[in-house]
Amino acid sequence: MTVRVKVCGMTTEEDVLDALAAGADAVGFVSGFPESPRNLPLGEALKMASAVPPFASAVLVTNTETLEGNVGRLEGSGVSAVQLYGDRPPFRRRLLAMNVRLIAPVRVGADSAQAGDADAVLVDSYVPGVFGGSGKAADWGECRKVRDAVAPRPLILSGGLTAENVCSAIRRVEPFAVDVSSGVERAPGRKDIRRVREFVARAKSV
């Protein structure tokens, strides 16, 4: 099976359309992390998600504090999955009722590898105080252990991926999908379409 590709940390509609045209299967929007250069107000993130065309997935990357009181706004927003940092169970039933999938992020070396009731698990490298987009490569051996532990749930591999290392990472971990953000940027929060195209092509060639 060809690995799927998510390009995360989108901040402009231009970058969204470019990534999808390059062959990305999903795009991610960050909200609730003001320290991140890729952070968007929730309303803006949902507006951009609504513009994602059919057969492509829009993923909201957020935390429980942001989602609290705002779960209903996801109804009809175009968001197909939520990558949720924090306590997931209180939101599971409401997301399920809206046909929104739940992705559990696991920072290798810091978090438990328990998938709980999540539909998929995303592994990322551990950088204190940073939740994604650090550019630090994850320990692929440990990522493989997480993959085996959570199977048959899909595993999404992230953490320091670039066009130069994504093929090796896929062969080592054998994930369902890969997730890239800083590895295809020309500046924090802005994607480089050449890098996006190269990343997608190499990931799907494995």
The pTM score is 0.92
All structural domains of the chain: 4-205 (3.20.20.70)
Q: What's the pLDDT tens digit per position in 128-168?
A: 555 555 566 778 998 999 999 889 999 999 989 999 999 99
Task: For 122, list phi and psi in degrees, rounded to 5.
Answer: -110, 125
Distance, in Å, from the CA atom of 100 to the CA atom of 93, rounded to the nearest integer, reads 10
pLDDT band at 111 (very low <50, low <70, confident <90, very high): low
Are 37 and 189 within 8 A, CB to CB?
A: yes
Which residues are known catalytic residues?
8, 124
- The confidence score (pLDDT) of residue 101 equals 96
pLDDT tens for each residue of 69-109: 999 999 999 999 999 998 887 888 899 999 999 999 987 76
Contact call for residues 50 and 73 (beta carbons, < 8 A): no
DSSP of 46-103:
HHHHHTSPTTSEEEEEEEHHHHTTTGGGGTTSSEEEEEEES--HHHHHHHHHTT-EEE
Asked if residue 152 has a cis previous peptide bond (ω within 30° of 0), the answer is: yes
